[in-house]
Structure 1
Amino acid sequence: MDDVAAIKALKYRYLRTLDTKQWDLFAETLTPDVTGDYGSSLSFTDRDTLVDFMRGSVGPGVITEHRVDHPEIDVEGDEATGRWYLQDRVIVPDFSFMLFGAAFYADRYRKTADGWRISATGYDRTYEATLPLTDVPGFSLKVGPAIHT
């Protein structure tokens, strides 16, 4: 697999393991010194802190869907950068709440002995919208077996 294809697969695995709450596999997509910047009030300076935050805030009662496309990936040796268009949705049934929006991810990647890993990630929102689930007539939710608890 060439480097660009490997980086695409890495990003998709990062999102899949986030949405399915496979925290050990999610951690494996990141370097130990990863930085994360998800807006003005949410930033991280290492893998353990980032993974612990996700595990605690995106637990079994929170359903997430993250989709990225339109990758722009530049590889220079064992380092790379990437930009992705993100569309996401967060559903919190216990609070009758749904968020959806879009953003542009900016990532840095590093080739390690175990393959490409994300060394920095974050996004800038283009929009974010919320709505109470009670405003969606007939809304019903069934969570499938792909979600790990």
Structure 2
Amino acid sequence: MWSMDDVEAIKLLKYRYLRALDTKDWEVFEGTLTEDVTGDYGSSLAFTNRGELVDFMRTSVGPAVITEHRVDHPEIDVEGDEATGRWYLQDRVMVPDFKFMLFGAAFYSDRYRKTDAGWRICATGYDRTYEAKLSLDDLPSFALDVGPAIRI
């Protein structure tokens, strides 16, 4: 039997996963995942364990890459110690050194497992609904200040 507490705990887990990703808090990010987590972010980006996924994010989304991930409209189904979740994602990626910005939307599909340490993500990935890219040269007034929440 599941409770609303399980659903709320899964929501908080997903929010923590995204906050840790955007602030580059890799220890917290790693703590949201099971060791055997799988990740599927499209045809060329897949992972079969936590080490691979965290290492990729740590090296690919480093200090020079600013990200913003927002999810809402969760659809969470809990069955015992397993759960599934679907989320609407809006994201933005900025790489000022390359004068690049991407923004888009997708639907996350996650699986969760209840562990001794609480709920953890055991599979995650998304299917894009759109992705738009632009050069920051097209925005001559663009200026970026990075706040202290980003771990550099």
Per the normalisation by structure 1, the TM-score is 0.99
* 2:140 is equivalent to residue 137 of structure 1: yes
3-state DSSP of counterpart to 2:142? coil
Q: Deviations over 1:22-65 (max 9, x none)?
A: 00110000000000000110000000010000000000000000
Residues 117-132 of structure 1 mapped to structure 2, 5 A cutoff? 117-132=120-135
Aligned to 1:102: 105
3-state DSSP of counterpart to 1:138? coil
Give the Cα–Cα distance (whole angstroms) in 1 for the partners of residues 140 and 55 of structure 2: 35
3-state DSSP of counterpart to 2:147? coil
Give the Cα–Cα distance (whole angstroms) in 1 for the partners of residues 33 and 74 of structure 2: 18
Residues 41-80 of structure 1 mapped to structure 2, 5 A cutoff? 41-80=44-83
* 2:6 is equivalent to residue 3 of structure 1: yes
Structure 1 letter corresponding to 2:15: Y
3-state DSSP of counterpart to 1:2? helix
* 2:11 is equivalent to residue 14 of structure 1: no
Structure 1 letter corresponding to 2:121: I
* 2:76 is equivalent to residue 91 of structure 1: no
What is the deviation of 1:136? 1.3
What is the deviation of 1:137? 3.3
CA RMSD of aligned residues (A): 0.7
Aligned length: 149
Give the Cα–Cα distance (whole angstroms) in 2 for the partners of residues 7 and 137 of structure 1: 41
Stretches of structure 1 lacking an aligned partner (at least 5 in a row)? none
Stretches of structure 2 lacking an aligned partner (at least 5 in a row)? none
Give the Cα–Cα distance (whole angstroms) in 1 for the partners of residues 8 and 66 of structure 2: 28
Give the Cα–Cα distance (whole angstroms) in 2 for the partners of residues 102 and 40 of structure 1: 17
Give the Cα–Cα distance (whole angstroms) in 1 for the partners of residues 140 and 128 of structure 2: 28
Identity of aligned residues (%): 80
Structure 1 ranges of 4+ moved more than 2 A? none
